[in-house]
Structure formats: C-alpha cells, structure tokens
C-alpha cells in the first residue's frame, strides 16, 4: 500500500502532556475526532487518572 492510500488518521496520533488536568481532559478528548489515537502522558498528577474517568474512547492510552 502506497502513502497515497493512507488517511490522515492512519499516520497521526495526539500526545497530551498531562499534570492535574482531570477537570479539562474530558473536554479535550471530546474536541478531537473519534478515531484519532491519543496518548496521555501523566507526569505524576496528585490524583491518578484512570481510563474509566474519561469519555468512552477505545483509542486512548495513558502512560505514567
């Protein structure tokens, strides 16, 4: 498959640096296209962020 057949979502991911943003991360995720992969990099927040706390998005991963 050549690059002319790739969609933008096939070659793009969003990396979100995160620290104590529990009140805003849901809005951020909802503003992104549903199929876009997202990696949240949690930099030792005071409260642990869990996938269950986020909108239902199967393409979201959290790194600590």
pTM of the model as a whole:
0.75
Q: Could you tell me how far CA 63 lies from the centroid of its own chain?
A: 10
- Cα distance between residue 19 and residue 46, in whole Å: 8
pLDDT for the residue numbered 57: 82
Q: What's phi and psi for 61, nearest 5 deg?
A: -125, 150
pLDDT for the residue numbered 11: 78
Kindly give the parts of the chain with pLDDT less than 50: none
- Please report which residue ranges of 1-64 form alpha helices under DSSP H: 25-30
Closest to 60 in 3D by CA, of 43, 45, 44, 33: 33
């Amino acid at each position: 498959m050549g690059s002319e057949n790739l969609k933008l979502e096939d070659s793009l991911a969003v990396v979100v640096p995160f620290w104590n943003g529990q009140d805003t991360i849901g809005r951020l995720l909802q503003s992104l296209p549903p199929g876009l992969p997202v990696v949240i990099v949690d930099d030792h927040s005071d409260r642990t962020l869990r996938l269950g706390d986020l909108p239902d998005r199967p393409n979201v991963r959290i790194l600590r």
